[in-house]
Structure 1
Amino acid sequence: MFPSTTYASVFLVLILCFNGVSPSSTPTKIGEGYRLISIEETRDGGILGHLQVKQKNNIYGPDIPLLQLFVKHETQDRLRIHITDAEKSRWEVPYNLLPREQPPVLKQTIGRSRKNPITVQEFSGSELIFSYKADPFSFAVKRKSNGQTLFNTSSDNCDPFGEMVFKDQYLEISTKLPKDASLYGLGENTQPHGIKLYPGDPYTLYTTDISAINLNADLYGSHPVYMDLRNVNGQPSAHSVLLLNSNGMDVFYRGTSLTYKIIGGVFDFYFFSGPSPLAVVDQYTTLIGRPAPMPYWALGMFHS
């Protein structure tokens, strides 16, 4: 689906490997995250905010000091959360390759923080609700119909992950998950269990263009999307999360949390509300494009 990452990102991975640093051995908590310093509504019905790093550090390079946050309910069943450098353009999946709405143009001046900043705020759509905390910045996505939290990036002292990290060649963000959530996806690779995610298994997305003969190997494309199936008071419920990022990444699923560690690009999340698996697939392919139909002759429909 997406092209391979840049040579610079590959070089970073090689440096880590030669120094005996594997992705799984990276520190679980890097820095203190960001604080929200301004937020406003946009003319197209979204919200635009700016984030400032709380305390700089040089682990995996310097932090990007200012970030731009853009949130919009693009449809009744799709929510987008886009976070990038507020002052410089960064690599994204090309908009002419995957047509989609573009976030607001980067601003040269950053708004000042409010004297009494709002610590909790909600931005509601038809079914999905975006909420955030200002300091340290974190966000959550909830379902309006049953109150379920689908995605939650806040970090507590007892969590095995830290606050959001945004550097030139290292990005990290995590979400809490309930124990009864069943996750499927994060292709394209050869996992022994198939498409169902299991805690502790490695999930590396890095296109290598090889055959599927070996287990735990990356294949032809990168599909950083998963479907989450839950039983909520006896009722089945499905939703999906896409991180639209074509750079190499490791995704760590611990059963009660999921962490993305990426070597470039931006955070560009799309949330699809479902609530059935079929509805999730329909909403997802509405964004990325439908698969090509099979030719009739491949189904045996041909004349002798």
Structure 2
Amino acid sequence: MFSSTGSFLSLSVFSVLVLLLSFYQVNSSSTPTKIGKGYRLISIEETPGGGIVGVLQVKQKNNIYGPDIPLLQLHVKHETQDRLRVHITDAEKQRWEVPYDLLPREKTQALKQTIGRSRKNPITVQEYSGSELIFSYIADPFSFAVKRKSNGQTLFNSSSDGSESFGEMVFKDQYLEISTQLPKDASLYGLGENTQPHGIKLYPGDPYTLYTTDISAINLNADLYGSHPVYMDLRKVKGQADAHAVLLLNSNGMDVFYRGTSLTYKIIGGVFDFYFFSGPTPLAVVDQYTSLIGRPAPMPYWAFGMILLSPLVLS
């Protein structure tokens, strides 16, 4: 369910070394190291296409794993009734993303306002509401949350809120980090491909590494297999089952740390390109997810054991 052919994973040996070194240093102690002070939102405006676009400025620069990218562009849009996109990238330079011709989807809004221009009034907590999902943000330090309109459940919340398990958002050239708070009763599934003794359900404690490739010998210069950084969150809300999914569309190598009450992405490049699927059932989540990435190919009759077919069927 969570992996497919046609991968877009491509990493250099240098990037792999940076990944291993960074993750070893970050996780060498029981308490995770907090890399920086995060970003502040300095301007935001609505776009003609129905979304919002803003500028984030780093609060305090440091050189841990390289210099921080000073200005970021935030773009948020409800693409469908059940899908919300949150895209964060460098505001001044183009960065590697999964090509739009490889995975057809709507392109992000270009930044039109003057970078660095801020509003006269301080930006506080705001909301951007869709049919079912609500995007809200805090300006300083910048964090965002995604909530469900029907029952008020928080599906994603990147605010550290003084947490010991993770810090503020980090965005460097070869090191990106962002986290979300999670309720204790959430059951997470996905983040393939990996082999775990518990199957596809995630259990707290161990990192889940996404660095998958399997190139066929008969197809030269093509990466035909990879993993999708997507998980499904199953919860029981007021006695009812509730499901949603979160996809981070990033083709770089990454570790995902699930600690029970939080989940942290640590990535060696690219951008933050989140897609939130509202569900609310597992079947609806899969339908919404495959409507974005593409439907699986139909199974051939012989794969179901239908070898001996009657002339009537063949005709």
TM-score past 0.5 threshold: yes
Aligned to 1:13: 16
Aligned to 2:256: 251
Say which is worse superposed, 59-68 or 115-124, in terms of deviation. Answer: 115-124
CA distance in 2, matches of 1:182, 1:286: 24
Distance change (3 Å), C-alpha of 1:45 and 1:296:
same
CA distance in 2, matches of 1:299, 1:20: 44
| Residues 1:262 and 2:272 are matched in the alignment | no
Aligned to 1:24: 27
Identity level (%): 83
Aligned to 1:178: 183
* Structure 1 residues 164-218: Cα deviation after superposition (integer angstroms, max 9, x where no partner): 00000000000000000000000111111110000012200001439xxxxxxxx
CA distance in 2, matches of 1:270, 1:202: 22
SS of match in other structure, 2:228: strand
| Residues 1:56 and 2:61 are matched in the alignment | yes
The RMSD of aligned alpha carbons is: 2.1
**Structure 2 unmatched runs, 5+:** 216-223, 311-315
* Structure 1 residues 214-240: Cα deviation after superposition (integer angstroms, max 9, x where no partner): xxxxx9411100000000010110000
Aligned to 2:238: 233
Answer whether contact 2:96 2:270 (CA < 8 A) is retained.
yes
Q: Which TM-score applies when normalising by structure 2? A: 0.89
Answer whether contact 2:45 2:52 (CA < 8 A) is retained.
yes
What is the letter of the counterpart of residue 157 of structure 1?
G
* Structure 1 residues 137-160: Cα deviation after superposition (integer angstroms, max 9, x where no partner): 000000000000000000122331
| Residues 1:85 and 2:90 are matched in the alignment | yes
Answer whether contact 1:182 1:228 (CA < 8 A) is retained.
yes
Tell me how far 1:104 sits from its aligned partner: 1.6
| Residues 1:41 and 2:72 are matched in the alignment | no
Answer whether contact 2:11 2:253 (CA < 8 A) is retained.
no
* Structure 1 residues 263-292: Cα deviation after superposition (integer angstroms, max 9, x where no partner): 000000000000000000000000000000
Aligned to 2:194: 189
| Residues 1:157 and 2:162 are matched in the alignment | yes
SS of match in other structure, 2:288: helix
What is the letter of the counterpart of residue 12 of structure 1?
S
CA distance in 2, matches of 1:3, 1:291: 17
Identify which of structures 1 and 2 has the higher relative contact order when contacts are C-alpha pairs closer than 8 Å and 6+ apart.
2
Q: Which TM-score applies when normalising by structure 1? A: 0.92
